[in-house]
Amino acid sequence: MGTTREGHNVAVRLVSMHDEGQEHMRILRKIARGDISLLTENHTAPLWGEFEIEDVKFAISPFIGYTMSYAYGAWANNSVGDIVDMIIQALEALAFLHSLGIAHRDADKDNYLVPWHPESLTAMKVPICRPRVFINDFETAHEFPPHTPEEKRRLTGLPWDDYLKEVPPEVAIGPYDPFKVDVWQLAHSFSDFESTVAEIDEHLELLRVDDPALRPSAAEGRDKLAAIVHALPPVSLLIPPMIYTE
């Protein structure tokens, strides 16, 4: 983290070194700056600038705040409504990337940022607005060439050699759909969260089923979850979540 001369708090991160990370920077330049970065459905953390020292490239982005991993189970007193809104936005972030042929490949809740947490349970009021969710960390992302047939959009192997996070079963079997893996990674990272609203919890469970053929796409997951939430009175989600700990 640093501060510009104008007083803006920024995050500076190493993006590429030598030949490594070139895809990361190329993807950021494509989706995180210019007109595309202003689209409502684009939740990519903005790229404000970049600089290079010898052959090491750094990206400058606004300092956004907290990861979604703090949405529950820590200090933030968020309601189920607050948390589910973040999940819907996270699915929208993936749906946008997938529409461009980009798979994130490390899409758990640690790689989403929010500038603040609503903590609706503190005031016990449905908030007038909620924070925007940003997706971050594209070092493992992969972009398929335009017009690649759906059946050809497949990858093999882990995001990196010593990747220690859990992955769905299809990753170990052979060529897999990385877009469905993104959905699983996001939903699996919320497996310790229960809204106590049956329809919401059933849908979140569907997003992390082992069979990718039964797993909705990010866009389908977003639309269904939004439809469930929008059919409920907002005050009905002004409740604490159930949290499971190991």
Nearest Cα neighbor of 135 from 76, 186, 208 is 186
Q: What angle do CA 156, 159, 161 make, to 5 degrees?
A: 95
Cα separation of 169 and 187, whole Å? 14
CB-based burial of residue 239 (10 Å sphere; 0-12 exposed, 13-18 middle, 19+ buried)? middle
Other beta carbons within 10 Å of 200: 20
Report CA dihedral (162, 178, 206, 76) to the nearest 10 degrees: 60
Looking at residue 2, its pLDDT comes to: 62
Looking at residue 77, its pLDDT comes to: 97
Q: What secondary structure letter does DSSP report for 72?
A: S
Cα separation of 243 and 70, whole Å? 12
| Torsion sign across C-alpha atoms 170, 148, 213, 136 | positive
* Angle between the N-to-C axes of helices 198-206 and 218-230, in degrees from 0 to 180, rounded to the nearest 10: 180
CB-based burial of residue 12 (10 Å sphere; 0-12 exposed, 13-18 middle, 19+ buried)? middle
Q: pLDDT (tens digit, 9 = 90+) per residue, 26-43?
A: 999 999 999 999 999 999
Q: For residue 240, what are its two tokens?
A: 């604490």
Looking at residue 23, its pLDDT comes to: 86
Domain ranges of the chain: 2-62, 66-243
Q: Name the maximum alpha-carbon separation found in the chain.
A: 56
Q: pLDDT (tens digit, 9 = 90+) per residue, 172-212?
A: 998 999 999 999 999 999 999 999 999 999 999 999 999 99
Distance of CA 183 to the CA centre of its chain: 9
Please determine, looking at this structure, whether the domain spanning 2-62 carries the CATH number 3.30.200: yes
Looking at residue 22, its pLDDT comes to: 82
Query: 66-243: which CATH number, 1.10.510.10, 2.40.110.10, 3.30.470.20, 3.30.310.80?
Result: 1.10.510.10
Show the low-confidence residues of the chain (pLDDT under 70): 1-8, 21, 246
Q: To which residue do tokens 């992969």 refer?
A: 142
Distance of CA 31 to the CA centre of its chain: 15
